[in-house]
């Protein structure tokens, strides 16, 4: 019970409107997954916004969904460079130059 009391002191929670806004704009800062809101057990007017996998966003943080989208777009361009830098791990994903040129029609 003591841990629960300490958690109540640390966590402020959100109003219903704030929680809905946080869920619509932000993602989990740890796994970049979707957030959900749950009612707090100590105050019916307070909602907690959590990541089902990582925990409460007041403790783990949040990141905007726009930033996540930008990171994902950049990742598409970084992937080919990354697999070429690690041929011993990704050898089957890297096509040789001749095969790539044939696929492109040269």
pLDDT in tens, 85-104: 777 776 666 677 788 788 88
Question: What are the boundaries of each domain within the chain?
Answer: 2-104
HEC profile of the chain: CHHHHHHHHHCCCECHHHHHHHHHHEEECCCCCCCEEEECCCCCCCEEEEECCCEEHHHHCEEEHHHHHHHHHHHHHHHHHHHHHCHHHHHHHCCCHHHHHHHHCC
pLDDT in tens, 35-82: 999 998 878 888 989 898 888 888 888 999 999 999 888 887 887 777
* pLDDT reported for residue 79: 77
């Amino acid at each position: 019970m003591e841990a629960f009391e300490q958690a109540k002191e640390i966590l402020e929670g959100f109003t219903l409107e704030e929680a809905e806004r946080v869920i619509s704009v932000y993602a989990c800062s740890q796994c970049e997954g979707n957030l959900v809101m749950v009612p707090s057990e100590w105050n019916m007017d307070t909602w907690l916004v959590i990541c089902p996998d990582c925990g409460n966003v007041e403790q783990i943080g949040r990141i905007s969904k726009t930033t996540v989208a930008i990171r994902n777009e950049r990742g598409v361009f970084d992937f080919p460079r990354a697999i070429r830098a690690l041929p011993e791990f990704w050898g089957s994903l890297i096509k040789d130059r001749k095969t790539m040129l044939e696929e492109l029609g040269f």
